[in-house]
Amino acid sequence: MRDMAPDLGQEKIQALDAEAQRIMKLNDRGGYTVPTAGLYPYQWNWDSAFAAFGFARFDPGRAWTELETLMAGQWANGMVPHIQFHRADPGYFPGPEVWGTEGCAGKGPGRVASSGITQPPVAASFAWRVCQRDPVAGEARLKALFPRFLAMHRWFIDTRCESGAVAITHPWESGRDNAPDWDDAMAGFEPDGVGPYTRRDTSHVDARMRPTKADYDRYLWLVQFARKRGWDEAAVAAESPFRVADPTMTFTLMRACRDLRKAARVLGEPEGEITGWIERLEAGAETLWNPETGAHDARDLRTGQHAGSVSNASFLGWWGGLEDRRALPALTRILDAAKYALPSFDPQSPKHDRLRYWRGPVWGVMNMLASTGMAEAGLTAEAARIRADTIALIARHGFAEYFDPQEGTPAGGGAFTWTAAIWLGWASPSAGKE
């Protein structure tokens, strides 16, 4: 049985809005926000873009600053790294000394210390939304960032677009670190010689809610592998055992290109190149379609095999702008199987693990993307169900990193920036009512 969203009442809505703002300010480190203190003490790429979406509700100027800081960390080759290490923090591993990106050719001189991989490109989509809130003040700031977004998207198309779908070189790039989507590709190599290391994540959060040691060994092995090649995209593409086409990357880039094209129109910039990218990504999305699961699915580019994974990313096609409804029966099955939507992995699969990070729990940010896309595609009831469940989870359990899809139990880090941000920008009954 599914749950119904509680009828909150004005006072409770106002209290939740105030708490969400408080969390965003608490995690503000001056120009950028951390996802949460302790567990994630730096600036993460897509977390930061969601943060801008939340700030736009009460401080559009601060929203732009968030995006500007994020894009200032862009590498010379166009890539925007997944972590920017603005200030040293021993509470996180792996820090800048493990990544060793200093001096590598793609980065270029004078950039902030960073990781060597990227994350789902939602920044242009949220810049467009921030601009919608105050187009008069926003346009100049959007215009200044436009070339950076263009360069970022071009980098994805040139280096990562294989058969049109977007490849990841490390599970952390997908943002869905330990999703079952990567299990087969991760089992395809041994993390030999990775050496001893001390995890920090499990000192902040219950180990049952985090990736396993077998995963972590491979995460680090892949970092060392790319580092040895000077973070050279071509060498990693040619030699790494891990290269998987990812629905999250493909659909967020598709949407970000559509949003960038809207921006180009308003700013009087050329659209033709962006339109070409969208067409290429649409063709690529078809290579992710798995007829056996009836959903979009990750595909191992080394073996050509689908992962057989029905995840929350499987339902981002509508956010990407696809119109077809082939995934609707699979979505209906997943919605029926979870008390709280949208579980990050199929509750009917033996691999489902309701507390372990991206193998089961519900994530507010994915709910925002999926539900918004569904609403736009006319899947009104499905979109409303996902939003109502997000409201119920946050109202009852607070601004957690993620939630158990059956009990609603909050899990992972607390006082989480992006959960607060999607509350303010989307889930809150007050959103869009100003």
List the catalytic residues: 177, 401
- Residue 182, interface with ligand DGY (CB under 6 A)? no
Are 399 and 23 within 8 A, CB to CB? yes
- Residue 181, interface with ligand DGY (CB under 6 A)? no
**Long-range own/partner contacts, residues 221-228 (CB < 8 A, 24 or more apart):** 221/189, 221/191, 221/192, 221/193, 221/194, 222/169, 222/170, 222/171, 223/94, 223/98, 223/99, 223/116, 223/170, 224/194, 226/116, 226/117, 226/169, 226/170, 227/99, 227/100, 227/101, 227/116
Which is nearer to ligand DGY, 149 or 172 (by Cβ)? Answer: 172
| DSSP category for residue 114 | B
DSSP letters spanning 295-342: EE--EETTT--B----BGGGG-HHHHT----TTHHHHHHHHHH-SSS-
User: What is the dihedral sign for C-alpha 309, 310, 311, 313?
Assistant: positive
Least distance from ligand DGY to the Cβ atom of residue 219, Å: 8
Least distance from ligand DGY to the Cβ atom of residue 430, Å: 30
Residues near ligand DGY (CB under 6 A), total: 4
Q: Report the SS3 class of residue 347.
A: coil
Could you give the string, one character per residue 198-217, with x where binding to ligand DGY holds by CB under 6 A and - elsewhere? ---x----------------
Distance between CA atoms of 294 and 274, rounded to whole angstroms? 29
Could you give the string, one character per residue 64-103, with x where binding to ligand DGY holds by CB under 6 A and - elsewhere? ------------------x---------------------
Q: Report the SS3 class of residue 372.
A: helix
Distance between CA atoms of 110 and 114, rounded to whole angstroms? 11
Instruction: Please identify which residue in 17, 28, 177, 404 interacts with ligand DGY, judged by CB under 6 A.
Output: 177
Least distance from ligand DGY to the Cβ atom of residue 82, Å: 6
Would residue 25 be called left, alpha or beta, if left means φ above 0 and alpha means ψ between -120 and 50 degrees? alpha
Least distance from ligand DGY to the Cβ atom of residue 95, Å: 10
Which is nearer to ligand DGY, 201 or 353 (by Cβ)? Answer: 201
Which is nearer to ligand DGY, 28 or 177 (by Cβ)? Answer: 177
Considering only the C-alpha atoms of the chain, give the largest distance between any 2 of them, rounded to a whole number of Å: 57
Which is nearer to ligand DGY, 8 or 112 (by Cβ)? Answer: 112
Which is nearer to ligand DGY, 177 or 346 (by Cβ)? Answer: 177
Name the residue number minimizing CB distance to ligand DGY: 172
Least distance from ligand DGY to the Cβ atom of residue 35, Å: 9
Which is nearer to ligand DGY, 21 or 119 (by Cβ)? Answer: 119
| DSSP category for residue 28 | B
Which is nearer to ligand DGY, 171 or 321 (by Cβ)? Answer: 171
Which is nearer to ligand DGY, 82 or 218 (by Cβ)? Answer: 82
357 burial (CB, 10 Å; 0-12 / 13-18 / 19+) is buried
CB atoms within 10 A of CB 193: 7
Least distance from ligand DGY to the Cβ atom of residue 99, Å: 11
Distance between CA atoms of 15 and 19, rounded to whole angstroms? 6
- Residue 297, interface with ligand DGY (CB under 6 A)? no
* Amino acid code (one letter) for 84: Q
- Count the alpha carbons within 13 Å of 397 in the hemisphere toward its beta carbon: 25
Are 180 and 257 within 8 A, CB to CB? no
Least distance from ligand DGY to the Cβ atom of residue 198, Å: 13
Distance between CA atoms of 179 and 256, rounded to whole angstroms? 23
Least distance from ligand DGY to the Cβ atom of residue 429, Å: 31
Could you give the string, one character per residue 137-176, with x where binding to ligand DGY holds by CB under 6 A and - elsewhere? -----------------------------------x----
Residues near ligand DGY, by CB under 6 A = 82, 172, 177, 201
